Structure formats: C-alpha cells, structure tokens
Amino acid sequence: MSDSEKDFPVIIWFRQDMRLVDHPALLEASKLRRPLILLYILPERETDWFLGGATCWWLHRSLQVLSDHLKAEFNQKLILRQGDALTVLKDVIQQTEASAVFWNRIYEPHEQATDEQIITELSDEAVVCELFPASLLVDPTDIYTQSDNPYQVFTPFWIACLKKLEFAKPLPKPKKLTVPKKFPQSLALKDLKLNPTIDWAGGLEEMWSPGTEGALKNLDKFLTELVEDYQEERNLPSHYGTSRLSPHLHFGEITPRQVYWETQDVIAKFRDQNKSDAVKNADIYLSEIGWREFSYYVLYHFPHTVSEPLQEKFQDFSWKSSKKWLKAWQKGQTGYPIVDAGMRELWLTGWMHNRVRMIVASFLTKDLQIHWREGADWFMDTLVDADLASNTFGWQWASGCGADAAPYFRVFNPTTQSEKFDKQGDYLRKWCPELADLPNKWIHKPAEAPEQVLQQAGVELGKDYPKPIVNHAEQRDLALEKWEKIK
Ligand SMILES: Cc1cc2nc3c(=O)[nH]c(=O)nc-3n(C[C@H](O)[C@H](O)[C@H](O)COP(=O)(O)OP(=O)(O)OC[C@H]3O[C@@H](n4cnc5c(N)ncnc54)[C@H](O)[C@@H]3O)c2cc1C
C-alpha cells in the first residue's frame, strides 16, 4: 500500500456475518489502518432472492445489535442501503473515494454470481476486491473423493473433513476500526421496513434474542446443560434438547469455528472426568454441524439443486397440485396432530424441531405428494433459520431425491412417529390445545378415537379439529406406485 492510498477508505460489506469476532474481512481491513466504511445492503423487494418474512424479522434485530456494538465499541456507524449490490457499492465508492471492498464469501449460487460480477466491474475501475472464507469449517473446494469427485454421502465426507483438516481457530475482534472523515448516506433501520405487518412477532420475541449475545447464551446453555444427553434429547420435540443456534449461524452472529472449538473444550473436560458417554454425545453434536457443512458442500457443487432434484429420476415424478391440501398443511389443519403441531410451532415461533421438520416434509411430499419445492418455499418464508443450503438439502433429503437421502419408499407414519417421539403428547397439547383433554392413547390419532372419548374431551371432529384430509395408508400406497414408475 502506498502512502497516497492511506487516506482512501476501505468498504467492509456485511452480509450473513453480523459479528465482530472471527470476521476475517473486518480484521484484515482493520490492520491496514485506513478509514473503514461499514456497509449493509438489503436487496430490492421485487427480486427473486428477497428474504422471507421471519428472516426479515430477525434481520431487523440483528442489524440493530450489530449497529449498537459498532457504535459503543468503535464509535463506528453501520451504513444501511437497499438496492442492487453493485449499484450501491459503486455509489458508496463514488461518495467516499473508497479504493477497496472487503467481504466474506457466501456459498449460495446467486451470491457467487453477484460476487463475480462485482469483482469484474470494480476491478475495471481499479477498486481492489478481497473475499474471505468465514462461514464454514471446510471450504467446499478442499475435499473430494479419491476419484476426485464431490462427495454425495455424508459419513465419508465428514470423516474426510475431520481427517484432512485442522479447523482454524476463531479470529479475534479487531482492536481499532478507523472512523472515516465523512460517512456516506445511510437509511434508517426502520426505512428498510423489515418488521412484519402481520400479528406474528409475539411468539418470536418470546423465544429468540437475535445478535451475538443471544448466540453465545444459547451455546453456553447447550454446552453446560444439554450436550451430555444430546443423542436422545434431540429427538424429543417437547424438550429443550438442542442448541437452537441455527438462526444465529445463518446470520453469522456466531461461526461454526467458534461452536466447534467451544465444544472441543467441553469434550476435553469430559475426557478428564472419564465421561465417555458425554464425549460421544458432544461428537454427535459436532456431526450435526458437519451436516450443515455438507449442505453447503452439496449446494456449491450442485447449484441446480436449488430448484432441481439431485437425483435426476425425480424429474419425472408426478407431483400433485392441490392448493387446498397445501393450505391445510401450511396452516396446521391436516387432521394429523403431529403435522399440525409442527406447522403451528413454525408459524408462531419461526422454528420447528428437526424431528418434526422431517415428519411434516415426509407428509407433504409422500402423503400429499406435493412437490418438495412448495414446502421448501414455505419454510424459507416462515423459518427464522431459513437457509438456502440447509433448507434445500433438508427438503431433498426428506423427499428422497437428494444427497444421502432417506429413500422415497421409506414413508414416515405420522401417527407412529408421534407415539414414539412425543409419548405423553406434551408437544401436541402445547401446539394443538383443542386436543389437550384427549387421553395419551388417542391424542396422536383423534380420528380413530371412540365417539365417547371425543365427547368427554370436548372435541368435535370437523368442527374443533379437522378430520384427516387424507388416509395415510392409502396415500402411502399411491406414493409407492408413483415411485415404482420412476425408480
Ligand atoms: C425439511 C427440512 C428443512 C430444514 N431447513 C433448515 C433451514 O432452513 N435452516 C437450517 O439451519 N436448518 C434446516 N434444517 C436442519 C435442522 O432441522 C435445523 O438445523 C435444526 O433443527 C436447528 O435447530 P438447532 O440449532 O437446535 O439444531 P442442533 O441440533 O442444535 O444442531 C446444531 C446445528 O447443526 C446444524 N444442523 C443440525 N441438523 C442439521 C441438518 N439436518 N442439516 C443441516 N444442518 C443441520 C444447524 O446449523 C444447527 O444449528 C432443515 C431440516 C429439514 C428436515
């Protein structure tokens, strides 16, 4: 860097990295001791890649927290803009005479195309662009099978990751962020109009604290109270048994490197205490972080899977189109309590337990034979952890057409899943309160309950709670017939 460059600011473009620690773009730029412009760009609403409603709710709060930290710790300002990223960057460069843009990479196909376009255009104008890997443990280009192909099965992928790579330790927070002489124009947070207009935020506010502190609190609670029993507890939707870090990881309020190394510290303690079961549970937890890595890996190597099945034969599957059934599924009105409980939990809290995500996804794609894309779209709109890689992967996995997927012919029976994982019906009673007075034997299958039992519990089927919209056994047979045609 020449002396004359010293006064020209560097833009740090924040995206899914709402944090100050383990932020390579910010740290590297801070070392240059040049004025820094800290920028967030919200895409235009009309674009295909605009964010879902629950994501917007989270983003509003996450931006507020980041902005407060920057102000309090560095007297820095977070500049907020909306529009096409290249156009906004050019405008900010023009207003500030910035000569470099630093940002952390996102491994989503659209974001990668945007990156390439920005690098080409800004390089032509002699603006330096520097990209950093920051959101994964493993760069998707670092791991291949022995025959040099991308992995399509999780276990060998994860073994290869653990064997081949020493995951980097998290980076420290920058010491100083030099303030520019003049800030470019910024919108106020409220001008981004991220807060929902529907009456929805109550459940979200109760459950979540967007921002870095919320992330660290969840990690700490998980590692001190829950991880030892993770293997069993993570399957029970009525228990608080998982880390609830998914939205924090998606927004980059915490990184997988932080989670990995904090968990390793806990594993070391368990080893000292000869707690081999606890070590096993913590390793299973880390392998879930591995599934997140694998989702990104698959999306990176097979970008068409955003809309197309990884297994080509599923192109010919005859999906059913039924607005009525889709609506019943979305609103939690299918007449299958475990499905309805999950869909209502999703609507009210922006989250759904992983076991239940698998059940509702199986129900949509196998019992109702509705395209997995419809389910994925609804999840992208309603989940606070909506994440293109994990969501696409989860839907293709559950519907049998993705990498290392549950075979299509293995159809979850929603009633037996419910009886197994919510034995006492606590989860069902919480989210389907109209069924609360049914005895445990019948709450999983009210449509099979004797009339007298229903009457005693004050449940009139078709009025207080819907009759099943389909017959599981019949739909299962139909789904398998369709599967036979493409297999
Ligand atoms: C149909 C379907 C859709 C899904 N959509 C999303 C999504 O949009 N965003 C999302 O983050 N996860 C998604 N998942 C994966 C999983 O359900 C959530 O990551 C998990 O429930 C989040 O809760 P947690 O943080 O308490 O998880 P924990 O059990 O505490 O796991 C820790 C972390 O590991 C990762 N992880 C765990 N399970 C998976 C998995 N199966 N695939 C990928 N990563 C995983 C997540 O980052 C999670 O935060 C989906 C799963 C299915 C079956």
Please report, in tens digits, the pLDDT of each residue of the chain (487 residues total).
555 567 899 999 999 999 999 999 999 999 999 999 999 999 998 777 788 999 999 999 999 999 999 999 999 999 999 999 999 999 999 999 999 999 999 999 999 999 999 999 999 999 999 999 999 999 999 999 999 999 999 999 999 999 887 888 999 999 999 999 989 999 999 999 999 877 665 688 889 999 999 999 999 999 999 999 999 999 999 999 999 999 999 999 999 999 999 999 999 999 999 999 999 999 999 999 999 999 999 999 999 999 999 999 999 899 999 999 999 999 999 999 999 999 999 999 999 999 999 999 999 999 999 999 999 999 999 999 999 999 999 999 999 999 887 788 889 999 999 999 999 999 999 999 999 999 999 999 999 999 999 999 999 999 999 999 999 999 999 999 999 888 8
Given the CA of residue 234, which atom of ligand 1 is nearest to it?
29
* Cβ of residue 385 lying under 6 Å from some atom of ligand 1: yes
The answer as to whether 292 is a domain residue is yes
Range of the domain at 9: 3-134
Q: Are residues 370 and 479 in the same domain?
A: yes
The answer as to whether 203 is a domain residue is no
Q: Single out the catalytic residue among 354, 413, 419, 440.
A: 354
Q: Are residues 242 and 285 in the same domain?
A: yes
**How far away, in angstroms, is 353 Cα from ligand 1 center?**
9
Rounded-to-integer distance, Cα 471 and Cα 487, Å: 24
| 431 counts as catalytic | no
**How far away, in angstroms, is 367 Cα from ligand 1 center?**
23
Q: Which of 255, 270, 301 is the last residue of a domain?
A: 301
197 is in an annotated binding site: no
**How far away, in angstroms, is 477 Cα from ligand 1 center?**
30
* Cβ of residue 118 lying under 6 Å from some atom of ligand 1: no
User: What is the rounded end-to-end Cα distance, in angstroms, of the chain?
Assistant: 60
Nearest CA to ligand 1 atom 11: 246
Strand runs (DSSP E) across 423-480, as ranges? none
Mutate to test the pocket of ligand 1, among 258, 390, 392 (most ligand atoms within 8 A of CB): 390
243 is in an annotated binding site: yes
Q: Are residues 319 and 255 in the same domain?
A: no
**How far away, in angstroms, is 329 Cα from ligand 1 center?**
20
Mutate to test the pocket of ligand 1, among 208, 218, 246 (most ligand atoms within 8 A of CB): 246
Q: Are residues 109 and 141 in the same domain?
A: no
Q: Residue 48's closest CA among 92, 111, 104, 103? A: 111
pLDDT tens sequence across 359-395: 999 999 999 999 999 999 999 999 999 999 999 999 9
Rounded-to-integer distance, Cα 184 and Cα 81, Å: 10
Q: Residue 248's closest CA among 263, 259, 260, 234? A: 259
Q: Are residues 119 and 143 in the same domain?
A: no
Given the CA of residue 245, which atom of ligand 1 is nearest to it?
25
Q: Are residues 259 and 394 in the same domain?
A: no
* Cβ of residue 135 lying under 6 Å from some atom of ligand 1: no
166: domain CATH number is: 1.25.40.80
The answer as to whether 423 is a domain residue is yes
Q: Residue 201's closest CA among 50, 45, 347? A: 347
366: domain CATH number is: 1.10.579.10
Domain count, the chain: 3
- Specify the pairing of strand 78-82 against strand 10-14: unpaired
Nearest CA to ligand 1 atom 23: 244
Q: Are residues 440 and 387 in the same domain?
A: yes
68: domain CATH number is: 3.40.50.620
* Cβ of residue 374 lying under 6 Å from some atom of ligand 1: no
Given the CA of residue 386, which atom of ligand 1 is nearest to it?
8
The answer as to whether 185 is a domain residue is no
| 13 counts as catalytic | no
Q: Are residues 329 and 465 in the same domain?
A: yes
Q: Are residues 142 and 128 in the same domain?
A: no
Q: Single out the catalytic residue among 111, 233, 291, 419.
A: 291
* Cβ of residue 379 lying under 6 Å from some atom of ligand 1: yes
Q: Which amino acid is at 96?
A: T
The answer as to whether 415 is a domain residue is yes
Q: Are residues 329 and 441 in the same domain?
A: yes
Q: Are residues 328 and 462 in the same domain?
A: yes
Q: Which of 273, 301, 329 is the last residue of a domain?
A: 301
* Cβ of residue 105 lying under 6 Å from some atom of ligand 1: no
| 354 counts as catalytic | yes
Q: Are residues 226 and 239 in the same domain?
A: yes
Rounded-to-integer distance, Cα 84 and Cα 114, Å: 10
Assigned token pair, 281: 């549970």
**How far away, in angstroms, is 246 Cα from ligand 1 center?**
6
